[in-house]
Amino acid sequence: MKLLRRLEIPGSSKKIDLLVGDLSAIPPEHAVDILIISAFPNDYQPTANSLVGALGRRGLSVQALAEDRAEDLTESFACWLSKPIDPRLELNFSRILCFEPLRRGRAAELVGEVFQALAPFAFAPPSIRSVATPILASGDQRQSAEEMLQALLEAAFNWLVRGFPVETVKIVMRPGAEQDELEELFVSEAQRLASGRPRPATVDGPERPRARIGGYSLEHFRQVSPADYSVGLEATSQSVSLPGLPAQAYDVFISYSRKDEAAAQHLYDCLTNAKLSVFMDRHALDLGAAWQQEIFDALEACRSTAVLYSPDFLQSKVCKDEFNIAWMRRRETDAPLFPILVRDAALPTYMRLLNYADCRTSDTAKIAEAASTVVASLGR
**pLDDT (tens digit, 9 = 90+) per residue, 27-48?**
999 999 999 998 888 999 998 8
State pTM to two decimals. Answer: 0.74
**pLDDT (tens digit, 9 = 90+) per residue, 120-176?**
788 777 789 999 999 987 877 778 889 889 989 988 988 888 788 899 999 999 888
Burial class (CB in 10 A: 0-12, 13-18, 19+), 312: middle
Q: Which residues contact 188 (CB under 8 A, 6 or more apart)?
A: none
- Structural domains present in the chain: 2-240 (3.40.220.10), 250-377 (3.40.50.10140)
**pLDDT (tens digit, 9 = 90+) per residue, 327-375?**
888 877 888 999 999 999 988 877 888 899 999 999 999 999 999 999 9
pLDDT of residue 324: 85
**pLDDT (tens digit, 9 = 90+) per residue, 226-248?**
332 222 223 222 222 333 444 56
**pLDDT (tens digit, 9 = 90+) per residue, 265-288?**
999 999 999 999 998 876 555 544
pLDDT of residue 293: 60
Query: Given the DSSP bridges, would you call strands 93-99 and 79-81 parallel, antiparallel or unpaired?
Result: antiparallel
Please determine, for residue 181, whether its predicted confidence score (pLDDT) is greater than 50.
yes
HSE-up (13 A, CA, CB side) for residue 169: 27
Higher pLDDT, 318 or 225: 318
Q: Compute how many other C-beta atoms are within 10 angstroms of the C-beta atom of residue 75.
A: 9
Average pLDDT, the chain: 81
